[in-house]
Chains A and B, each alone.
Chain A
Amino acid sequence: MAWLQRLDTGEMQMISHSRIVVPLADGAEGERRMRQYGTFSTMNRCWNQRRSEETIGIYWTTLRSGHTIIRCIESNAVGGPLFPTKR
């Protein structure tokens, strides 16, 4: 919690820096990363559009099958939107 203590003591510094842009990799490497990680926006949208009992049902089913939940892609199919990646 050092960051919180620094706020309390007023120890703050303002810095300016150029915008950091990390381009998505092209080709096979890019596809591999999309498969493995998906996109935060899509995952966020899935969470917001689905009811919690459905979301958590998918989580538990996925975890019980020995996968980690990494990827969520756009789909309205019940039980379909989460694509797990093998541990």
Chain B
Amino acid sequence: MIRWCQQRSGQVIGDFGCGEACLAQAVSDRHTIYSIDHVAINEEVIACDIAHVPLDDESLDVAIYSLSLMGANFTAYVREAHRTLKLDGHLHIIEATERFSNREQFANNLEQLGFNVIRIDDLWKFTPHTGHQDRGGEGREDVELCF
């Protein structure tokens, strides 16, 4: 994701579950980064429940979940991406490949949450899902993501 961000500039990016906020360290000179996690490792990180982040609707160009879909309610995290992303904003979910028992179903559920899934990759031991916020497809309330 650092490399992807380095190839672009001027984006407003939410790093959901940022951990040590390495993304912000690497590309904050090119983008506006909101580093968000349950616990703040430094003053730049917003400590909050990532199911309810203090960002306005349609305020992000990019939402990133890198190994951060942890918690029984992680679908709510992704619903926050749908709320905070602008129309056509990018969603990036990177998880360990071994977590997925049915990644096509995972992608279908993302579509039902209101995203247009454009890529599913195999990257070493990880499976990135890339999508766009699709306002035309408002997220269904009864959909739960599962691996």
Contact = CB atoms under 8 A, between A and B. Distances in A.
Contact of B38 (A1, A4, A49, A56): A56
Given A1-B26, A47-B71, A52 B39 contact: no
Given A52-B76, A52-B77, A55-B38, A1 B2 contact: yes
Contacts of A56: 38, 48-49
Label chain A's interface by main secondary structure.
helix
B54 to A, nearest CB: 13
B72 A48 contact: yes
B71 A69 contact: no
Interface string B42-61: 00000011110000000000
A56 B50 CA distance: 9
A59 B71 CA distance: 14
A29 interface: no
B130 to A, nearest CB: 20
Interface string B8-51: 00000000000000000110000000000011000000001111
Interface of B: 2-3, 25-26, 38-39, 48-51, 70-74, 76-77
Given A1-B25, A48-B70, A52-B71, 13 more contacts: A4-B2, A4-B3, A47-B71, A48-B72, A51-B72, A52-B38, A52-B49, A52-B51, A52-B77, A53-B73, A55-B71, A59-B38, A59-B39
Interface of A: 1, 4, 8, 44, 47-53, 55-56, 59, 63, 69
